[in-house]
Amino acid sequence: SSFGFRDVDAREKVRLVRGVFDSVASNYDLMNDLMSAGVHRLWKDAAAAKLNPRPGETILDVAGGTGDMARRYARMARQAQERRGGSDASVIVLDYNAEMIMAGVNKGGEPEMSWSVGDAMALPLPDASVDAYSISFGIRNVADVPQALREARRVLRPGGRFLCLEFSRPIAGPIRKAYDAWSFHAIPRIGEWVAKDRDSYQYLVESIRRFPDQPTFKGMIEAAGFSRVSVTNLSGGVAAIHFGWAI
């Protein structure tokens, strides 16, 4: 075939395909570290703590990529379970890119995790079926953000939690100046060196600029039907956690 797979046996094929997904995942992880100077790990820890996963809950991580948030949720729910009992949590990673899902499966999951391919704008889940919904560095890429927020509201049961971790608007002053230099100059260069792809990283920086600021996004979450929406700035607003309740 044009992929050169015709003469390799099935086991070899699996190994080759795995290699592709492993390199997708490791490139992706490397870029995350470079772009956020390693800080995305701390932001993700902060977001997972805010979501506060509990034993027995069904937690949906949308645009979950290779499962960074879901692994945190699974471990935290299990730690709580070891302390005070309760049943196993169920953590669903959903992403519309099957390659990201495959890369995540290869990276390894936790027993509580399951993986699924699907779109944030049309979730393959019934109404009121999950206890918590999260989306981390994903909503910025969704074509119709209000529609994704309505879907989040639909699948959450009453009392459910919504959490979004996303790049946001740095507060004015020195942080903003440093951030502008970093994002407009450093990130496209890093993208060129590491991924040989300046344009994609340029696009990424621009998509962050275009995304609504904290109060605007908070208003959109409220418009989708969430209550008591709060904003937590991370690293001076370079990223932010938006959190709300489905009541």
Binding site feature residues: 66, 95, 119-120, 136
Which amino acid makes up residue 84?
Answer: R
Smallest gap from Cβ 25 to ligand SAM, in A, equals 10
- Paired sense of beta strands 239-245 and 227-234, if any: antiparallel
Smallest gap from Cβ 4 to ligand SAM, in A, equals 27
Q: Kindly state the helix (H) or strand (E) to which residue 180 belongs, with its residue range.
A: helix 174-181
**Smaller CB distance to ligand SAM: residue 88 or 119?**
119
Binding-site annotation: residue ranges for S-adenosyl-L-methionine: 66, 95, 119-120, 136
User: What residues contact residue 236 under an 8 Å CB cut-off, 6+ apart?
Assistant: 170, 171, 175, 179
**Smaller CB distance to ligand SAM: residue 75 or 86?**
75
**Smaller CB distance to ligand SAM: residue 55 or 237?**
237
Smallest gap from Cβ 47 to ligand SAM, in A, equals 9
Smallest gap from Cβ 207 to ligand SAM, in A, equals 10
∠ Cα 107 110 113 (to 5°): 100
**Smaller CB distance to ligand SAM: residue 63 or 241?**
63
DSSP string, 67-94: THHHHHHHHHHHHHHHHH--PPPEEEEE
Please tell me whether residue 207 adopts helix, strand or coil conformation.
helix
Quote the CA–CA distance of 201 and 218 in Å, as a whole number: 26
∠ Cα 50 53 59 (to 5°): 110
Site for ligand SAM, rule CB under 6 A: 63-65, 68-69, 95-97, 100, 119-121, 136-138, 141-142
**Smaller CB distance to ligand SAM: residue 55 or 239?**
239
* Residue showing the smallest CB distance to ligand SAM in the complex: 65
**Smaller CB distance to ligand SAM: residue 142 or 240?**
142
Quote the CA–CA distance of 91 and 77 in Å, as a whole number: 10
Smallest gap from Cβ 68 to ligand SAM, in A, equals 4
Q: Which long-range contacts (CB under 8 A, 24 or more apart) does 126-129 make?
A: 126/155, 127/154, 127/155, 128/154, 128/155, 128/156, 128/157, 128/158, 128/160, 129/58, 129/155, 129/157
